[in-house]
């Protein structure tokens, strides 16, 4: 899949901006504060419904404006049609309170519909949190992959989250057992398959992740991805676990166990745990996880997601940059890289499409 047009309005410093990227490697340069990251942020916003730099109400909308708008047009392979492509278009308007989305000319009821249509893998300065941060980003990682490769996943995910919201509201209101029984059943019926999807997906990434990490950070040795379901699944069903935790949950006012508490971790042969990773090593581990996901997407969907690498040169040394870029070039993925200059790890023979951001505008070099 590759983006052919990206337009944004009232996003951070830009009143408006349009970028017509090429397939392959797109390099966006500019001075500090020029707005390079904002361009990737716009793409990420469309693909995830959120920024990687905080909430919309925390300054994503340009000062003095009411709402931001992003428009993306992209080409994607039509699955199993022998190389046929189609053009897709999505638009998003966000005021901080309300949002409205359009996909291929029609309004969408859920932001998730946009996220499921446009696949973007983003690696940015905060991406090490995937390995060293809290479990939410790791659950989101699994769910993102599943949205894109498993058609039946989204309804299960929505059903689970709706049931969780209802159960939590009832717990807060200290509802009666009969009411809670119904939502426990619903939560368990959605939560069991949700958990199996996630575990199987992580398992499918296992081999690719191991190879990528060996290539990117050989000193870390062998590694394994390990899943924890969020309740003692080996001992009991989710329905039983919910019943067992009901008293405690009524006291706390929220559901303390279940797939919304699931997590995964990387177990290293040569290290006691993630705490022993250097910052650079945790970045490389996160990158291996993201690239494993992108490769898997390619295997299932027949094409790579768009890859957005923010400030690559400050994240990786030139040796690692070179390896990552060589791998991406071989994949034929569309890649966006931002930086104040050409990344030092970029081999001179690489074909690159260059853009420069300056004074609130972008120019093709």
Ligand X SMILES: Nc1ncnc2c1ncn2[C@@H]1O[C@H](COP(=O)(O)OP(=O)(O)OP(=O)(O)O)[C@@H](O)[C@H]1O
Site residues for ligand X per CB under 6 A: 12-13, 30, 32-38, 59, 61-63, 311, 338, 340
The three-class DSSP label of residue 206 is: helix
In the complex, what is the shortest distance from the CB of residue 356 to ligand X, in angstroms, rounded to a whole number? 11
In the complex, what is the shortest distance from the CB of residue 41 to ligand X, in angstroms, rounded to a whole number? 7
In the complex, what is the shortest distance from the CB of residue 246 to ligand X, in angstroms, rounded to a whole number? 45
Alpha carbon distance 5, 353 (integer Å): 14
Q: Any known ligand binding at 363?
A: no
Q: Any known ligand binding at 31?
A: yes
- The smaller minimum CB distance to ligand X, of residues 266 and 352, is found at 352
Q: Any known ligand binding at 36?
A: yes
**Class of residue 291 by CB neighbours under 10 A (exposed 0-12, middle 13-18, buried 19+):** buried
Q: Any known ligand binding at 360?
A: no
Q: Any known ligand binding at 270?
A: no
Q: Any known ligand binding at 30?
A: yes
Residue of 181, 225, 230, 235 whose CA lies nearest to 200: 225
- The smaller minimum CB distance to ligand X, of residues 32 and 109, is found at 32
Alpha carbon distance 39, 339 (integer Å): 12
- The smaller minimum CB distance to ligand X, of residues 57 and 174, is found at 57
The three-class DSSP label of residue 98 is: coil
In the complex, what is the shortest distance from the CB of residue 115 to ligand X, in angstroms, rounded to a whole number? 22
Which residues have a Cβ under 8 Å from the Cβ of 363 and sit 6 or more positions away?
355, 356
- The smaller minimum CB distance to ligand X, of residues 293 and 338, is found at 338
The answer to whether the CB of 339 falls within 8 A of the CB of 312 is yes
- The smaller minimum CB distance to ligand X, of residues 188 and 312, is found at 312
Measured on CA atoms in the order 186, 192, 197, 199, is the torsion positive or negative? positive
The alpha helices in the chain, defined as continuous H runs, are: 36-48, 111-117, 129-132, 135-149, 153-172, 177-216, 238-244, 246-252, 279-301, 312-315, 318-331
Q: Any known ligand binding at 273?
A: no
In the complex, what is the shortest distance from the CB of residue 283 to ligand X, in angstroms, rounded to a whole number? 16
Binding region for ATP: 30-37
Binding region: 30-37
């Amino acid at each position: 899949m590759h983006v052919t047009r990206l337009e944004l309005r009232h996003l951070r410093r830009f009143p408006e901006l349009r970028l017509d990227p090429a397939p392959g490697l797109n390099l966006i340069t500019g001075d500090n504060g020029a707005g390079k990251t904002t361009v990737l942020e716009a793409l990420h916003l469309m693909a995830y419904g959120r920024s990687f730099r905080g909430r919309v109400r925390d300054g994503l909308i340009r000062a003095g404006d009411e709402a931001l708008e992003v428009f993306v047009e992209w080409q994607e392979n039509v699955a199993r049609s022998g190389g046929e492509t189609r053009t897709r278009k999505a638009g998003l308007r966000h005021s901080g309170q309300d949002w409205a989305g359009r996909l291929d000319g029609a309004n969408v009821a859920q932001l998730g519909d946009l996220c499921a249509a446009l696949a973007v893998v983003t690696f940015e300065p905060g991406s090490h949190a995937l390995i060293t941060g809290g479990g939410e980003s790791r659950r989101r990682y699994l769910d993102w992959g599943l949205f894109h490769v498993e058609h039946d996943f989204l309804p299960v995910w929505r059903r689970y989250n709706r049931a969780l919201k209802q159960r939590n509201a009832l717990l807060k209101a200290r509802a009666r057992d009969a009411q809670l029984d119904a939502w426990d059943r619903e939560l368990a019926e959605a939560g069991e398959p949700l958990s199996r999807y996630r575990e199987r997906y992580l398992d499918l990434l296992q081999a690719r992740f191991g190879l990528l990490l060996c290539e990117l950070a050989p000193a870390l040795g062998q590694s394994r991805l390990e899943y924890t379901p969020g309740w003692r699944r080996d001992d009991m069903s989710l329905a039983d676990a919910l019943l067992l935790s009901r008293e405690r949950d009524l006291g706390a006012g929220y559901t303390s166990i279940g797939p919304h508490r699931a997590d995964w971790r990387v177990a290293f042969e040569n290290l006691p745990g993630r705490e022993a990773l250097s910052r650079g090593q945790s970045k490389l581990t996160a990158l291996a996880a993201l690239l494993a996901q992108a490769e898997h997407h390619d295997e299932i969907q027949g094409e790579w997601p768009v890859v957005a690498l923010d400030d690559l040169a400050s994240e990786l040394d030139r040796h690692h940059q070179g390896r990552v870029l060589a791998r991406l070039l071989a994949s034929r993925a569309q890649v966006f890289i931002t930086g104040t200059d050409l990344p030092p790890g970029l081999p001179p023979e690489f074909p690159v499409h260059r853009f420069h951001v300056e004074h609130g505008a972008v120019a093709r070099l």
